[in-house]
Structure 1
């Protein structure tokens, strides 16, 4: 793995990570600040993207095009959707899906995907599952649903029934 991208939707989600990157170098692109350095011996570039799908997609594309990120991790807060998801649980996506985009938009038109779900990278997921067995805190694996709206009560049951996500956010599927 050449360089890992870390995308945080808010500055408060990015700040704890930056504390572990010694003397990061900063580069500004497209009104975003990218922080380059090493984290536990891994070459990383981190960015505060801003919330929502478009901001995440723009930041992710820059991570790939300008910084050659070979993997991107979305790190941040999400809303629990499954009944057994608790506050502060760590959730790792097996797959991501848009809860606010019709399924056929992605399957019947460009990019003609076989399904509306974006699978996680199999190798990274396997590594995360190994770590999940020894982690000092519980790690949950499942679907993350992405959309532009904050989900409280309205639409919650429909999203849960259709996608069975562990949590919902505003960025993950756009990065996937």
Structure 2
């Protein structure tokens, strides 16, 4: 069984429609099932994402998982609706530096949580078949919507990140703990600067549609 996760209602709706996941299941979050697939709407933020992934992986025999959603670009080369295939993600707001750890390094000794390389290759192949602009990169995850360009530039410099969002690293962490392969994919909606909130709303619908097409392509 394949599990697909998305934070926003619009993202999850696009995945449900594309994957034919119309059967609503009883769960502490919106969860729908289709033939061989699950679509979970996690809600926004790291805690919500980790809870959703843990619930699904505990309850169902998931063989592979994908977290799909939108992000703000830290790399100015990324354009709206470009796909960022996350090779790894870091929780930029984790700070255990008083204990000698690097910024973003967790108490588990892991700073960057990786996407599964095999799944990421499948995502890349699917994006190429669909003709969707994409690139590999690094995601920074934190429990705050970034709308200050100066801070965005600091995160890019500190973590080598290309995009910022609010769930990915926590989702990868939960999948890592369960030993289930997961790939993180983000579609760019904004530049993580002063106009980020407006751009997010303007591009969310089309970004969600493209992510639905990508998810559908991953079934074959």
Q: TM-score, normalised by structure 1?
A: 0.85
Gapped regions of structure 2 (runs ≥ 5) = 173-220
2:87 is the counterpart of 1:94: yes
Would you tell me which structure has more strand in proportion to its own residues? 1
Residue 60 (structure 1) aligns with? 53
Paired residues for 1:23-172 under 5 Å: 24-30=22-28, 32-38=29-35, 43-102=36-95, 104=101, 109=107, 111-113=108-110, 116-153=111-148, 154-172=150-168
Please give the secondary structure, in 1, of the residue aligned with 2:147: coil
Gapped regions of structure 1 (runs ≥ 5) = none
Report the count of equivalent residues. 166
CA shift digits 1:105-133 (9 cap, x unpaired): 87573x233xx001110211222333444
Q: TM-score, normalised by structure 2?
A: 0.69
RCO greater where, 1 or 2, for CA within 8 Å and sep 6 or more? 2
Aligned-residue CA RMSD (Å): 2.0
Would you tell me which structure has more helix in proportion to its own residues? 2
Please give the secondary structure, in 2, of the residue aligned with 1:150: coil
